[in-house]
Amino acid sequence: MLRTSAPRRRRGLILLVLTALTGAILALTPATANAMCRTGALARGGCGVPQEIDFPPLADTRVDHGPVPLLATVSTAPIRVAARIPTPPGVVVYTSTTPAVCTISGATAVLVAPGTCSVQADAPEAGYYLAADPVTRAFQVLPLPEVPAAPAAPAAPAGERPVLTLKVPAGLPLSAGTTSARATSTGAGAIAVRSVSPKVCRTTEAGAVRLTGAGSCRLHATQAGADAVAASFPVWGFPAVPAKAKATDLLTVLGKGEAAYRVVATPAGVCREADGEVALIDGGVCRIEVRDGGDVVRTDAVKVTVPAKPAGTRRSLDLGATIYFAFNSAQLTADGRSTLRKVAPMLAKADLVVVYGHTFGPGHNSASSRSLAARRARATVAFLDGLGVRSKVVSEVAMAMQQPVSSTAWKNRRAEVYYR
């Protein structure tokens, strides 16, 4: 057993019983304990909580497929605690050890060239949680199939220089993965098309144009005896999804040119898709997928927290109504019913309606407080259902005492109706 000489009341210390076998007790800050673990000054049985990475195998993928989702997850061993410790961060950091073949963008591998793509997943040290052993997965990036050469164009009349033309798309989203450029000539002979902006696009031996980043894709076409020609087109990126956000925030997920894609957000109790955006509803981890037909284009994970005070951001759900309840009651008042009748026509046109039930009282969010908050939310939803809002996606959240708005009790005995 290891004890420190610091007084127990010293701030920043926490008492942990880490294992049933050793019963090791630490009264150390996370950084101190983990540093002593690394140097061997502290026995392993008294170290921080270990993390373990589960990284599913990756299937071989053709180079024109587009970004490949990386779906590693982090778990921790069960422990006995003598005091509360934070929830595991569950953050996975990816690194490509073969950048010439593939690079990393968020939680996806961007394919660059045929070869072996090797991706390492790490879970960094965070607080009382030790860094996980890295896990590496490798897969083959397959080349494009060979395309027969196009028949040669008729030769230009004798004494005339061949004329080259190069046609490119008007613009594409980066998630499209690949495209083609059509080069023709009035003369005979091979035409070579190459990219002069490799950070945005690259050409392949099979004649395809592979998109590698957002920006302007600039291509040059050359042929013996002809003047070279150039053409360009924009490649549109997609919005960066934050790693952390707050309940009632709205996240823009789709970028320009991705209107035909579908957004999937789970679990429903934490987040919902709303007209191509993602509405964050309650605390937890929101997992987002962008799909093109049956293909997963990219994935993201967002840790959602509940703010201490309701405060709308520039991109958040709109507050449609607030209604109040009597002490320890979930029955709608006459004023509450009148308020809901006024906003019902507007809510009936919304893509998403979320009702938050609140309570007020000292102490923690007890089971009875959460139950009362849930009943207030359900009563509000049921009344809206009778007013014709039933066809919309409606969620109920028992916020209980997490968001007091006033020291005056009755102002906190409320239900709030948000919409998108």
d(CA 358, CA 352): 20
Strand partners, 235: 172, 215
The predicted structure's pLDDT at residue 169: 92
Supply the DSSP symbol for 114. S
Contact 293, 300 (CB under 8 A): no
Matching CATH topology for 166-236 and 318-419? no
Residue-wise pLDDT for 304-321, tens only, equals 988 776 655 567 888 889
**pLDDT value at position 143?**
85
Predicted confidence (pLDDT) at residue 165 exceeds the cutoff of 50: yes
108-111, strands of its sheet edge to edge:
68-69, 108-111, 102-105
* CATH pick for 244-305 out of 2.30.29, 3.90.1690, 2.60.40, 1.20.950: 2.60.40
Q: pLDDT tens digit string along 86-102?
A: 555 678 899 999 998 89
Residues 50, 128: Cα–Cα separation, whole Å: 9
Q: Which of 406, 385, 409 is nearest to 395 (CA)?
A: 385
Q: Is the pLDDT of residue 137 over 60?
A: yes
What is the rounded distance in angstroms from the CA atom of residue 2 to the CA atom of residue 36?
A: 12
pLDDT tens per residue, range 42-53: 444 456 678 889
| CATH fold for domain 16-142 | Immunoglobulin-like (2.60.40)
The type of residue at 337 is: R
* Total residue length of the chain: 420
Helix (H, G, I), strand (E, B) or coil at 268: coil
pLDDT confidence of 4, banded at 50, 70, 90? Answer: very low
Summarised one tens digit per residue, pLDDT across range 172-231 is 999 988 998 899 998 888 899 999 999 999 998 778 999 999 999 999 999 988 889 999
Fold for domain 318-419?
60s Ribosomal Protein L30; Chain: A; (3.30.1330)
**What residues does each domain of the chain span?**
16-142, 166-236, 244-305, 318-419
Higher pLDDT, 390 or 20: 390
Mean pLDDT across 391-409: 71
Pairwise CA distance, residues 354 & 341, whole Å: 16
Q: State the pLDDT at residue 360.
A: 82
Homologous superfamily (CATH) of 166-236 is Immunoglobulins (2.60.40.10)
User: In 45-134, which residue ranges form alpha helices assigned H by DSSP?
Assistant: none
pTM, to two decimals: 0.57
- Contacts (Cβ under 8 Å, ≥6 apart) of 373: 357, 358, 359, 398, 399, 400
Amino acid occupying residue 377: A
Bond prior to 267 in cis (omega within 30° of 0): yes
